[in-house]
Structure 1
Amino acid sequence: MSRRKAPARAAAPQPQCTVTVCRGCCCGTDKVPGVDHAAQLAMLKAELGAVAQVRAVNCLDACEQANVVVVQPSPAGRAAGGRPVWLGLVNDPDATADITAWVRAGGPGLAEPPDILDLYAFAPSRRVRRAVED
């Protein structure tokens, strides 16, 4: 019988929040001038890559709210009552930093968002909401 130890197994990664960033016809374009859209997306990916899935999508069909970011809870956050949070007019680096801090703390259902994010929250139509949340 061998006395060698079995190799240690890496812990399975925990399911994470998903941060969806609109980069379609209005968000991430010259329609919202003065915003470095590429830097915003790069910052979210760099800051959240280890704790959340960050994805850019073509259009979330909420163009009047450009730039739109949707923070979906992790499975643990959903079990704790968290629901996706739609944030619009995210055109300021401070707003992006507030979103980052909230997601790093656990996101919907697990951490209270900074109060300032209440100013960015909006409710999209049911049709739009279903397309992203499914």
Structure 2
Amino acid sequence: MNRRPRRAAAVDPAAGCTVTLCRGCCCGTSKVTGIDHAGQLAQLRRTLAGTAQVRVSGCLDACEHANVIVVQPSRDGRQAGGRPVWLGLANDPGAAADIAAWIHAGGPGLADPPGMLDLYVLTPARRVRQQLA
């Protein structure tokens, strides 16, 4: 008889979107002024709780675009052709709300982002993109 305690079923992070906030050398620091960095992270965690994984990363090496946020598609989004979307200069107070609305609608591959997010899209170098692959 096995007496090891059962673990609770793990949440499959691949099933939902993942939002990664760069908080390295420039992003999330006082070098980027006029934004409540902790508030942005808290807002994303609060509004996406149970829907998407929100995580913090060290420097993603796209400092000229601080603050950088990467939205990775859900499993269904990837199957539909969605790829990670890099957002740079995501310093507007409404950026977190727009990101949350997009993810609630399905995120990359399943829903078009709100028009405002189009202004933030960037294409980082291949080497940098591979850090989140």
When normalised by structure 1's length, the TM-score is 0.87
Question: Structure 1 regions of 5+ residues with no counterpart?
Answer: 1-9
Q: 1:126: which partner in 2?
A: 126
1:59 aligns to 2:74 (yes or no) = no
Structure 1 counterpart of 2:22: 22
* 1:41 CA drift (Å): 0.3
How much has 1:116 moved relative to structure 2?
1.5
The whole-number CA distance in structure 2 between the counterparts of 1:127 and 1:31 is 24
Q: Give secondary structure in 2 for the equivalent of 1:93.
A: coil
How does 1:1-134 map onto structure 2 within 5 Å? 15-133=15-133
Instruction: Using the TM superposition, give the Cα deviation of residue 95 of structure 1 relative to its aligned residue in structure 2, in angstroms.
Output: 1.5
In the TM superposition, residue 29 of structure 1 has moved relative to its aligned partner by: 0.2
Deviation string 1:48-84 (CA, Å, 9 cap, x unpaired) is 0210000001111100000000000011100001000
Structure 1 position 43, deviation (Å):
0.4
Distance 1:70 1:33 in 2: 20
In 1: Cα distance, 2:85 partner to 2:25 partner: 21
Q: Which has the larger radius of gyration?
A: 1
TM-score by length of 2: 0.88
- CA–CA distance in 2 between the matches of 1:98 and 1:38? 17
**Number of residue-to-residue matches in the alignment:** 123
Give the partner amino acid of 1:30.
Answer: S
Secondary structure at the counterpart of residue 71 of structure 1: strand
Question: Gaps spanning 5+ residues in structure 2: where?
Answer: 1-8
Letter in 2 for 1:35: I
Report the aligned-residue RMSD.
1.5
| Alpha-carbon distance in 2 for matches of 1:30, 1:23 | 11
| Structure 1 residue 96 displacement after superposition | 1.5
Letter in structure 1 aligned against 2:106: G
Aligned twin of 2:4 = none
Deviation at 1:113, TM superposition (A): 0.6
Deviating above 4 A after TM superposition, structure 1's stretches of 4 or more consecutive aligned residues are none
